[in-house]
Amino acid sequence: MGNEVQCAVRVGKKRSKGQLLLETSEIIFCGETRLKILFSEIKSVEAVKGDLLVRTADGLTAFEVGEAVAAKWREKILHPKSRVEKLGVQARARVSVIGEFDADFLRELAGLQCAVNSGAIDGGGEWIFVLAEAERDLNALAKHAKKMKGAVGLWVVYPKGRKDITEAGVISAGRKAGLKDVKVVGFSVTHTALKFVIPVVDR
């Protein structure tokens, strides 16, 4: 995905190895040391000799990611794409929204002058967003898939850190509905979005 890398982290005199994830609005390090740094907490970020140096009120954290990744991630942190840009939604797109999405997301769509159809799928639309908060929402993917045409993209937005709805479960439900999973992005601090499309051979 380009947003995760195996590396070492240095905090003070302590050094440990693990996996570093660059999410929509935060950096997460999983390993012997566990860290989560929100973009809003970052006072400065630099790429120096292969290290991504992140300074917050708590001090300096150095991620040993290599020169190419350090430079690229520094730019992503300093100039993050908006959520709708990451999701691929463009101005005046026709969008269907299934479920109770947060007001901020709906405002972002309105800011792009999108034609939003809530509660039902627009057969001629370009994007479908389905909020999956329970297993029954995943079971409905087969019904939604039947209304998809051409290159329309269907994003399933589901909670992070839940055992009853996992990435594997979402992928399985989408594939059972005849769809192909092609992309995953952080939708928010609490939710992940996974994109499905109709396989090219079936369009």
24 pLDDT above the threshold of 80: no
Q: What residue spans of the chain are helical by DSSP H?
A: 67-78, 83-87, 103-111, 135-139, 141-145, 167-176
Mean pLDDT (the chain) is 93
Tell which residue, 53, 7, 58, has the closest CA to residue 31: 7
pLDDT for 2 equals 54
pLDDT bin (cut points 50, 70, 90) of residue 152 is very high
Question: Model confidence over 28-80: pLDDT tens digits?
Answer: 999 988 999 999 899 999 999 999 999 999 999 999 999 999 999 999 999 88
Tell which residue, 196, 132, 192, has the closest CA to residue 164: 132
Average pLDDT estimate for 82-97: 94
Q: Provide CB contacts within 8 A for 192, sequence distance 6+.
A: 157, 158, 159, 160, 167, 184, 185, 186
> Looking at the structure, do residues 119 and 141 belong to the same domain, yes or no?
yes
> Looking at the structure, do residues 148 and 96 belong to the same domain, yes or no?
yes
Structure tokens of 115? 């034609």
Structure tokens of 19? 């996996």
Give me the domain span that covers residue 28: 4-78
1 pLDDT above the threshold of 70: no
> Looking at the structure, do residues 94 and 192 belong to the same domain, yes or no?
yes
State the pTM of this model.
Answer: 0.73
- CATH number for the domain that contains residue 140: 3.40.50.150
191 pLDDT above the threshold of 50: yes
27 pLDDT above the threshold of 90: yes
pLDDT for 165 equals 94
pLDDT for 59 equals 95
Number of domains in the chain: 2
61 vs 38: CA distance, rounded Å? 13
- Where would I find the beta strands (DSSP E) of the chain? 4-11, 14-22, 26-31, 35-38, 44-48, 51-56, 59-64, 94-98, 115-118, 127-131, 153-159, 180-186, 191-197
Average pLDDT estimate for 171-195: 94
